Amino acid sequence: MYGMAQRPQQTWQRWPGWSMISASNYLGFTLWFTGLHGTGKSTLATLLQNALALRGYKVEIIDSSTLSYWLQRELHIDETIKGDRSHIPGYDAFVTYLCAILARNGVITITTSVSPFEAARSHAREHIEHFIEVYLNCSLSQRRRRLHQKESEIFVKDSLYQEPAKAELCIDTETELAERSALRILLYLEEEGYIAPLWEDLPTTEELAAIKTRLHPVEYLE
């Protein structure tokens, strides 16, 4: 339950399988990315932000390193702690609060913190009305290569991370291109009614069949 006045339920028309929402309806929701450092959360978040902004939606990325900077340096919290500390207890609760506020004001938020604890993610799911958990994963060797290229460090041990049991989407960022993953997330958002499809008129049954046939070879629908 919310720690503040309960927001009124948002309502909209639904067509089976497709959204009737336009960007001007200001439906706010949260894409809660979770995954160890180096799994590609920031890369995928940026691709989605650009794609959604082009469709007319208001989108904000809650970037872990930027938020950690403001909390630690500008607000003088834990000044002795260096680096990205977004996995420490309490961080996800603060991010949950930000996402809930932005969602109530029609903003789509995308989080990029590790969010290693199942209890913290469950808390976020309970307090954010439209919550979509996206689990990103890849091998340790791939993560190390990416972090080396970015001159970043690993702050969370694999043994500490608790994999999601009921994530809406699970993405292997080692075997799937970031652009393809972004398209898969956009398709999910369309099918679940969070965003409007790109066409103005609903496709016919024959058109849908043709689209599925065309996308299947590149695994957009798998």
Active-site residue numbers? 115
Sorted by sequence, the CB contacts under 8 Å of residue 85 that are 6+ apart come out as 68, 72, 78, 91, 155
Tell me how far apart the alpha carbons of residues 28 and 10 are, in angstroms, rounded to a whole number: 10
Q: Which amino acid is at 205?
A: T
- Dihedral sign computed on CA atoms, order 194, 176, 200, 17: negative
Tell me how far apart the alpha carbons of residues 128 and 38 are, in angstroms, rounded to a whole number: 26
Q: Closest by alpha carbon to 124, among 58, 29, 36, 200?
A: 29
Q: Closest by alpha carbon to 28, among 126, 101, 97?
A: 101
In order of 68, 138, 154, 172, 198, the CA distances from 146 in angstroms are 21, 11, 11, 15, 33
- For 162-208, strand residue ranges (E) read 169-172
